[in-house]
């Protein structure tokens, strides 16, 4: 079947060659670091073009784009992964060379914006984005840039500036899912700042947009062969989005004020079955949050003896006093834990000089990648396989006997992140992979104290 053909090595080589050519004459980003980043970006753009063409030509891929990996040879996948990694690595090097946007061309600014986002230097991406707006005449492009500006303000915790930028003229005609996600980020940000009225308003706007998006998706599935299963997936997606959003805002409220918010949220969702599925999960999340709250501002328990990787001496909270310590409780088999690693790695790189110390804690599992192993073998495989594979750049301790540290810190699910303030008290607890912006915001807050 023609749709099942793999991308040939020639096709990949051609698109990579395209990526190294025509890097825009008259560019002022001419250092080796920027030329490397731009070459990787040209390759990345070419890959995305080929992927888009494949999806558009293949009904199976159009329905499920994730299947595109099955169309690639192992060598193609390896080279593409190298390009993706190269984009991120080169972005971090290049973006350090730039701060002033004066004299940069529009194309230069586009690269700075992309590198800033890729390297999580969103403040620099924002500067580039703001500098691009006066250079654009097309009204739709101006709106897109302004909406990007609003999203970056929100990411940086500048929610009032985001609100002032995302005016109706900017947000009109945006896709419901995209606008709903933005409103949800605003709701979460204001909830973290305990500005409950604003959080509730944005939460209800987000629920409205997400509900409309869900209804659109279900309408598209009408009459399709697998309608029932596909609609079920849409419903599960909706419940997950609703739950996270309502929980974030409700947890910032006093319990007696939640009823009115729940009533308005239920009216906005306007689906009794969905709401009834949501309520017990919401109650459970709030109970778990209350337990996490109980641990706050209490002295962090000293962990027992661990076998250490990535440090020449055993670590303890006593030795780290005066630092802000991020403890990551994890396990090698835990996929959500691995999802969190890039964020933790970036936090370590970004804030280490300001006083952040990251420590990973786990315990011996008796198995590794489905193989039964002894503790010495597990230690070796952790050190020589798991840590290099997932680029764990911080010290990791494996509890020598049992899992007492997990018990002392009340770990009920992983990843389980704990922030210990400079004074040695627990200041933040988060279970699960998610709310990374909230965690980073707390890191910055504690470092500033």
Per domain, the residue ranges of the chain are 2-135, 187-295, 306-448
Share of the chain above pLDDT 70, in %: 93
Question: The pTM is what?
Answer: 0.73
Do residues 86 and 118 touch, judged by C-beta distance below 8 A? no
Q: How confident is the model at residue 66 (pLDDT cuts 50, 70, 90)?
A: low
- The answer on pLDDT for 7 being more than 80 is no
C-alpha to C-alpha distances, 128 to 116, 158, 364, nearest whole angstrom: 9, 17, 47
pLDDT for res 434: 75
Tokens of 137: 């005449």
Structure confidence by residue, pLDDT tens digits, 155-164: 888 999 999 9
Q: Which residues, in sequence order, are CB contacts of 284 under 8 Å at separation 6+? A: none
Which of 244, 176, 233, 254 minimizes the C-alpha distance to 210? 176
Which of the residue ranges 9-18, 225-234, 372-381 would you say has the lowest mean pLDDT?
9-18
CA dist., res. 356 & res. 348, Å (int): 7
Tokens of 124: 């620099």
Report the chain's mean pLDDT, rounded to a whole number. 88
pLDDT for res 8: 34
Tokens of 187: 């709701």
Tokens of 307: 């076998």
The CATH class of the 306-448 domain is alpha beta
CA angle 297, 421, 293 (to 5 degrees): 30
Q: Which residues are bridge partners to 361 per DSSP?
A: 329, 397
Tokens of 240: 């997950």
Which of 264, 218, 214, 263 minimizes the C-alpha distance to 240? 214
Tokens of 130: 């703001």
Which of 141-150, 362-371, 404-413 has the largest mean confidence?
141-150
Which of the residue ranges 167-171, 294-298, 396-400 would you say has the lowest mean pLDDT?
294-298
Do residues 438 and 430 touch, judged by C-beta distance below 8 A? yes
Which of 444, 446, 440, 412 minimizes the C-alpha distance to 426? 446
Distance of alpha carbon 412 from the chain centroid: 22
Query: Phi and psi (nearest 5°) for 359?
Result: -135, 125
Q: Mean per-residue pLDDT for 234-250?
A: 92
Which of the residue ranges 6-10, 168-172, 242-246 would you say has the lowest mean pLDDT?
6-10
Q: Mean per-residue pLDDT for 130-153?
A: 95
């Amino acid at each position: 079947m023609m749709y099942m053909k793999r991308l040939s090595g020639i096709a990949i080589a051609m698109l990579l060659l395209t990526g190294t050519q025509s890097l825009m004459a008259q560019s002022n980003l001419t250092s080796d670091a920027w030329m490397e980043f731009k070459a990787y970006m040209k390759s990345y753009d070419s890959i995305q073009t080929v992927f888009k063409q494949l999806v558009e030509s293949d009904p199976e891929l159009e329905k499920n784009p994730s299947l595109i990996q099955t169309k690639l040879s192992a060598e193609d996948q390896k080279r593409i992964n190298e390009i993706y990694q190269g984009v991120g690595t080169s972005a971090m090097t290049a973006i350090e060379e730039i701060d002033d946007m004066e004299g940069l061309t529009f194309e230069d600014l586009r690269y700075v914006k992309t590198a800033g986002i890729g390297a999580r230097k969103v403040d620099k991406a924002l500067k580039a984005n703001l500098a691009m707006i006066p250079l654009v005449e097309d009204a739709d492009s101006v709106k897109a840039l302004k909406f990007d500006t609003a999203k970056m303000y929100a990411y940086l915790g500048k929610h009032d500036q985001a609100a002032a930028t995302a005016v109706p003229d900017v947000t009109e005609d945006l896709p419901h899912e995209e606008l709903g996600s933005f409103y949800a980020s605003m709701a979460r940000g204001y909830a973290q700042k305990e500005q409950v009225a604003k959080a509730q308003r944005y939460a209800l706007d987000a629920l409205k947009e997400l509900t409309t998006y869900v209804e659109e998706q279900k309408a598209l599935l009408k009459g399709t062969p697998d309608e029932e299963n596909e609609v079920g997936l849409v419903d599960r997606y909706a419940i997950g989005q609703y739950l996270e959003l309502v929980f974030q805002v409700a947890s910032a409220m006093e319990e007696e004020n939640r009823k009115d918010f729940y009533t308005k949220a239920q009216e906005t969702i306007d689906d009794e079955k969905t709401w009834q599925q949501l309520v017990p999960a919401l109650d459970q999340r709030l109970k778990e949050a209350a337990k996490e709250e109980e641990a706050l501002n209490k002295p962090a328990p000293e962990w027992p003896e661990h076998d250490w990787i990535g440090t020449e001496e055993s670590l303890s909270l006593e030795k780290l006093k005066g630092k802000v310590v991020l403890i990551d409780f994890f396990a090698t088999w835990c996929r959500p834990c691995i999802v969190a690693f890039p964020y933790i790695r970036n936090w370590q790189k970004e804030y280490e000089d300001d006083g952040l110390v990251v420590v990973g804690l786990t315990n011996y599992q008796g198995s590794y990648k489905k193989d039964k192993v002894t503790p010495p073998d597990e230690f070796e495989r952790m050190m020589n396989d798991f840590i290099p594979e997932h680029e764990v750049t911080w010290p990791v301790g494996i509890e020598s006997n049992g899992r007492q540290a997990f018990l002392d810190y009340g770990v009920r699910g992983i990843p389980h992140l704990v922030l210990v303030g400079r004074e040695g008290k627990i200041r933040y607890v988060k279970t699960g992979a998610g709310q990374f912006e909230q965690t980073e915001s707390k890191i910055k807050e504690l470092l500033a104290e």
